[in-house]
Structure 1
Amino acid sequence: MSILPLPPFGTACVMVAAVLFTFPPPLLAGLGKSAVWLTRKNLHSLGLNNFTRIHPKNLRYNETTTLRVAVEQWIPHVEVTAYLDGSFRIRGPLANLLDLLASTLNFNYTLVRPPDGAWGAPNSDGDWNGMLGMIQRNEVDLALGPFGLTESRAKVAQFSQPIMIDYYRILVKRGSPEINPWGFLNPLGPTVWLGTMLGMLVLSLLLSVGVVSLVKLRDGPQDKWTTARLVLNQFWDQFATVCQQNLIYIYDAVATRMMVGMWLLGVMVIMKSFSSALTSLLAVRNIPVRIDYLRDLVDDRSFQLVFETSTALTATMEQATSGIYQELRGVAARGRVNFLKASDLFDVAFSSVREGGVALLVEDATIRKIISDDFSLKGTCDYYIGKESYYPLIFCIVGVPGLPIMPAINYRIQSLVEHDLYSEWVANLLPNATSCLRAPSSITVNEPYTMEGLWGIFVVLGVGLSISALVFVVEVVIHRKGFGKGPGLPAPKIDREQIRSTQAPSRAVATAESVASVHPDETQEFTEVTWSRVADDRQQILSDETAT
C-alpha cells in the first residue's frame, strides 16, 4: 500500500522533518558520526540495554525492511480511501508521520486494517480485539492509531513518545431560537423582583400600622372591617406605585413622607429600567442549551449516546465501580448507548446528531473536524459543543513489545512534536474549526410581535381580571349579608339639641372634614350619609313636637 500525494505545504514539512531526522541539529556535527546499521543478523541480538549506549538518531535499517502496519480511519488523524479491488490508501497527519519514519529509518510498510475496525479493548478471557489484538498476536509490527495511553494497554503494546494530548467532548445539535412568552419578566432578575415585592410589603405594613394608630387616636377604636379596609388600602396604594400609578393617600407626617419618597425614588429607577429594557428584550430569541456536562446526558433520558467502540474510555467505563463512568455504563445497560466504529462516526454526526436527540462523545479534534467540514459546506453553525472536557488522552503510536527500532521512532516523534509539525498538519485540516466555537446563545429578530410570544402577558391579564371579579362577588355578598355596612367608619352620634340649633349643619360638615383629612376617598360618601341622618333626625324631632 502507498500514501496519497501530499499537498505542497505537507511536502515541504515532510522534507524539513526528513532533514531534521537524518541530520539532527547541529547538522554539521552529525555528519561526521557513523550510524549503527540494523541488519537481519543483529536485529534481534540488539536489546534495549544496548540501545542505551547508542544514540537513537543514528539508528536505521541497513537493508530495506518491510514492516506490517495496522491502520484504521480516524479523521482528522488518518483518512482511509478504499478501492473496489480491496486496496486502499491513507492520508492525513499520521500518514505523513509514517512516511517520515519510513524514509528516515529505511523501511517499507504493508498496511493492514483490523477486521472489526476497532482500536482495541480486552475481552473477558484477557485477549484483545482491534489493532491492539493484532499487536498482541504479533500480526503487525506497528499500529498507527493514535492510541490513548493506559496502564492495561501498556501491558500488551509498546507505546511511543506522545504525539499530542486531547480530551473527550460532547457534540449535540444546536438548539433553535425559541420565543419566550414570559420574556417580559427578563429585564429584572429574580432577586430584583423579590426585593421589590418585599420592599412593597414592608412599607405597606409600616404605613398600615401608622394609619390605623392615627385613626384610633383621632376617632377611637375601630371595628375589624374598618381596620382591614385601612390596611388593604395601604397595600393597594403601594402596589399602584409599582405599576407607575399615582398615590391615593397624601401623608402629613414628615417621617412618613420621607419613607414614602425614598420608596417612590427606588420604584421609579427600577420601573424605568424595566420599561427601557423590555422593548429590546422582546426582540431577542434565546437559543436553549440543554447539554453541557456528562451529568446532563445521564439525567436527560431523551438523548441517545454514541461512543466509539473498544476505546480507552469504554474500557474505563467497564471497569468503573463508582462515579460518572459507572453511571454511563448503567445508561448503556438501559439501551441508550450505541458503540460504533471510528469510520462511522462522521456519518452519524451528519445525520442523527444533526436531527437532534443524539449526543456524540468523541475527542475534541474529531469534533472540530466535524464542525469545520459542516461550516465549510453550509456556512451555518448546526452543532453545539458541551462545556465539559473530560477523560484526557495521551496519543501515541504502538509497536510490538521489545521492538528494537522504537527508540529511533521516539527520537523522531519528539523532534516532530518539538517543531510543532503534527499540530500544524492537524490544524491545516480544520480551516473553519473556530467559526462556531463562540456562536451566540441568542439572536435578534425584526418582525411583528405575535400571540405566540405575548400570550404570557394575556395570562397575567386574565388572572388579574378573574381575581378582580372574585373580589367583587365577595364584596357584594358581604354587603348583602350586612357585614361592614356603611363607608367603613363609625356612625356619628347626633345630638338633638345640636340639630335644632343653627350650628348643626356646620358641625356636621366639620365632622365630615375631619374624616376627610384621614380618608379623602370616603369624604363624599360620609358627608352624604351625615347630611341624610341630620335631615331625618330633624324631621323626626319636628314631628314629635307637633304631635305633643
Structure 2
Amino acid sequence: MHYPNIEFHPQSPQEVLDLVSGLEGELLKHFVLEYNMHLTLVAPKDMEFGIKLLNNTWTGKFGLLEREEVDFVVGLITGNWERRFLGTYLAPLYNIKFSLASRKYPAKISWNAPFTVFSEFVWGVMLVCLVLVAGCMTTLAQIEGHHHSRRLKSDNNDIVSLFLELFGSALKQSSQRATCGPIYLTFATWSLCLFVVFSVYSSYLTARLSVPDPENNINTMRDIWEAKRTLLVWRGGTVDLYMRTTHDPDTKYIVANYHRYTDTIPNFSNVKALDGYRYVVVPEIEGFRFNVLAGLDGINRKIIDYHFSTEPLIDVFCSWIASRKFREGPAMALAMLRIQGMGLLTKWSTDRLNVDGKKSISTRKLASENTHIPVVNTNKTLTLNILKGVFLAWVCGISISVAVFFAEISITRLLVKRPKPRRIVVAQYIE
C-alpha cells in the first residue's frame, strides 16, 4: 500500500500530541517549543510493526538511522492497520525529516553566529553596502595615490564632500580608461568574495541544527532522580524501568524486569551496580523491532520496547510503557536522559546493532567505556571552523581597507591645508 508524504507544520504542542503519542510526542513537543521546526513525514516503502497502547491511542517509536534523507524513524498510524497477533499491530513506518520552520517562525541556532536565519537578508544588504564602500575606497586610494592634493578643488573640510569629490574623479578617470578599469575590477572581486563566502556560510548555518547539551549531565542514579527522569535500560530484548514515586521517594520500583542474559553479567539486576548507564547493551541483530510484552508479573499492562543506542552520543535513548496501574502521575513522566555532542539529530550507524546475540554480553564493550567521550563530526566541525575563519578574515580585510583609506585621505587633507612657510629673503646692500 502506498502512503503519501505528510507535511506537518505544528502551530502548537497540542497538535504534535494529536499526531504522535507517548514519549515521542513529548520529544516532538520539546523540539517544536525550542526550535519551532516543521516536519516532513516521508512515506515508507513497506509496512513495519507499530504499537497500540491500552488507552486506544497509537504511539510512534523513534530510532536513529544513518541515512541522508531521514533523521528519525517513527511508526505512525494513519487509520490503516492490521492485527497480526496478540498485542501487535501492523502500521506504516514513517520517516521523519526535521528541518527549520518557515520564515515566519523564530528559530534557534546552537552556536552564536554573527547573524541568525531571519536576519540573513538584512545582514546581506549591509555587507553588500560595506563591500561596495570598501571597494570604492580601495580603488580610489589606488587611483588617486599621491596625486590627491592636485585634484582637490574644494576647500571644505567635510570628509564626506572630500570623499564624493574623490569618488567622482575616480569614476571619471576609470571611465576614460579601458572598459574594465581598476574600480570595476575591485568591485567585481569584492562582490565575488561576498557571494561565495556569504552564500556558503549562510547555507551552512541554516542547514545546521543541533540539540545543545543539558546544563546538568546525568551520570548516576542520583543525577537521574534529581533531574526527575527515569532510567531505562535495554537488556537483550527486555526493558528495565526504574522509577520512584512521590509518596515513597526512597524506594526504587522495578516496573518491568524480564530476566534475560541476567546471569552473563555479575550483579546486573542490582540497581546500584547500574550506576547510570554502565550496562546498556544492544544485542539485537535487526535494526528495529517492536515488541509488546503483556501480562508481566500478573499485572495487566503492556510494555513496548525497542532498541537503545550504545553510542556515546546517546547513552540511553527512549522507551514507553502504558500501564493501567502507572498510567498517570510521575511514573509516566518519561524523558530523554543524556544527549552529547550533536544530540538526537546526529545519526549513528546501524552496524552497531549487528551483534551476534549468541555471544555473551560480558564479552562486549559496554557503553560505560565510551560514555564520557564526546563524539563530534570532525569533518563538519573543521569545515565550519575554516569557513568562520575565512569569513572573519574577510571582514577584517574590509575593515582594514576602510581604515587605511580614511587614514590616507585624512593625512592628505592635513598636508594640503598646512600652510607653507614663507621664505624671507633679506637683501643686504653694501655701500
Higher relative contact order (CA 8 A, sep 6+): 1
TM class by shorter chain equals under 0.3
Higher helix share: 1
State TM-score, norm by structure 1. Answer: 0.23
State TM-score, norm by structure 2. Answer: 0.27
Flag the structure with larger Rg: 1
